[in-house]
Structure 1
Amino acid sequence: MAIHDLNSFLSEYFQTKNCLIEENIDGKMVIQLTEEMDRELMNRPFYWHYIKKIGRQGEPMKLSMITNPYKKDEQGEWIHFGSPRLHQILNKLKQGERLTKLFEVIHTAEKTPLYPWLITNIKVSYSGRYKKDEILSMGLQLVNGRMVVDAMDKLQKIPLEKSISDYCFTMSPIIKLQSGFKRIQDTITTYIENQEHNWAKDSFEVWNEEKKTLTHFYEDNLEHKRYMQELEDLKKRYQPTIQIKVINGGIFYLKDNSLH
């Protein structure tokens, strides 16, 4: 259900941006950027301004990304949860791609219905003594309520366009968008609740031990301002929390059985 590493997420992201993945082996990826993505990610406004001014064709850069921790010393950008490049990509998604609408490309001469799917990519962050992130991709058909997991993986195999194909028409959703998001959220909540949470138990144990040590140190002055501050710092460091955040999503109009 979950994507436990970043390789799949990055590969899907750049493919949806029409970038060429020149290499993707064992956690090392080389991406040939398009001009649009070079402008988005590489911070070269003066280069592109100059190229356009002289009427030449610009040369988009290549990105080498490494998600395999055993290869992080090799040539390329070491990408992990918290790395600046990943934050940049996620921020771009938040800014401009929170919700998109695309249609499956259909070559037909007959009237063909397309069904609305709500598809969302969601980050689940576990925070305590240790930190962990998962990226989940969920799809919900807004007519019959069918739900699929790893939706983006399945969507990669389907040709999509911003305009609807000839002879195709859209089916009206029965499930409202807000209700659809709620169903997806409930599914993810159930998924989280069914997991083992030894990480949280471990965090509580360490937190309590650290509080005992701190209290013993300040036992004669538990009202001390520094004691209260350090107690709050321990809470921020060790209190187990789970956050769910939508990265992006979209409405995709697809043939009846396109997502299995």
Structure 2
Amino acid sequence: MAINNLNEFLYDYFAAHHCNILSNQSGILHVKLTEEMDRALMNRPFYWHYIKKIGQPGEPMELTLITEPSKNDVKGEWIHFGSPRLQQITNHLKNNEKHTKLFQKMETGQKTALFPWLVMNIKISYCGKQKKDEMISIGLQLINGSMRLEMMEMLKEIELQTTISDFCYTISPIIMPKSGYRRMENVIEGYIKEQEHDWADASLKTMQEEIDLVKHFYRSDDGDREQEMQKEIDEIRKRYDPYITFEPINGGLFYLAQ
């Protein structure tokens, strides 16, 4: 279910934002940013303010992103699920490009129906002693209710556009998007329940060990500092008590041929 190929995810992200892909091989992605993406990712507001003030076009930066652990000796930025850079990218998608409507491009001379799909990219966060994020891509056909995982992989093979092609028409959804998203939530909840959660057990074990240590420390202390002890215990619980959340990053309606 997960988008395990982080390199492909990053390639698609930068290509969709019209960045120049300088090279992409062996888990090393080298891109030349556009001005828009430099502004979004590189935190150089004073540079761009100065450049615009003197009337110059400016020079966007290049990024080398490494997703293959064995390439950690290569000069560049190591990126993985949970890394600050990936968090920045998903936040950019979440804040700026949350919804879209696209149509499959068709070359046809006869009337052709396009069927509605609700497509969502959803981030699952596993929080505890350590944090891990997982990206899930789901598509739900809003006519017959069929569901497809790794939907973005399928869409990569389809040419999409913002306007509907000549001779094509759309089928109105039978399942409303809000109801469709609830179905997706049920699938994700089932997926989470089916997994092994050793990470949560390890986090609970560490939490209890630290709580016991704090209690032992305060019991050996002559003073009455019950409130201080409880405050430390609460902080430990906040840090280690495991939980799982999921949230939509982006998505939209995609009208596809049958």
| Corresponding letter in the other structure for 1:45 | W
Structure 2 equivalent of residue 196 of structure 1: 196
Give the 3-state SS of the residue equivalent to 1:135 in structure 2.
Answer: strand
Cα shift at 1:189: 0.7
Q: Which runs of 5+ in 1 are unaligned?
A: none
Structure 2 equivalent of residue 94 of structure 1: 94
Structure 1 equivalent of residue 109 of structure 2: 109
| Corresponding letter in the other structure for 2:189 | T
Contact 1:215–1:222 (CA under 8 A) maintained in structure 2: no
Q: TM-score, normalised by structure 2?
A: 0.88
Determine the C-alpha separation between the residues in 2 that align with 1:153 and 1:191.
Answer: 19
Q: Is the counterpart of residue 175 in structure 1 residue 179 in structure 2? A: no
Cα shift at 1:59: 5.6
Per-residue CA shift, 1:108-149, capped at 9, x if unaligned? 111111111111111111111222111111111111111111
> Percent same amino acid at aligned positions?
49
Q: Which runs of 5+ in 2 are unaligned?
A: none
Structure 2 equivalent of residue 45 of structure 1: 48
> Could you say what the CA RMSD is over the residues aligned between the two structures, in angstroms?
2.3
Distance 1:60 1:213, change over 3 A: closer
Query: What are the residue-to-residue correspondences of 1:16-165 with 2, within 5 Å?
Result: 16-42=16-42, 43=44, 45-46=48-49, 49=52, 53=55, 60-165=60-165
Distance 1:99 1:212, change over 3 A: same
Structure 1 equivalent of residue 7 of structure 2: 7
Distance 1:253 1:112, change over 3 A: same
Aligned length: 253
Determine the C-alpha separation between the residues in 1 that align with 2:158 and 2:242.
Answer: 39
Per-residue CA shift, 1:218-250, capped at 9, x if unaligned? 226675232112101111221111010111111
Which has the higher mean CA deviation after the structures are superposed, 105-114 or 72-81?
Answer: 72-81
Give the 3-state SS of the residue equivalent to 1:3 in structure 2.
Answer: coil
Determine the C-alpha separation between the residues in 2 that align with 1:170 and 1:143.
Answer: 11
Give the 3-state SS of the residue equivalent to 2:91 in structure 1.
Answer: helix
Q: TM-score, normalised by structure 1?
A: 0.87
Contact 1:12–1:153 (CA under 8 A) maintained in structure 2: no
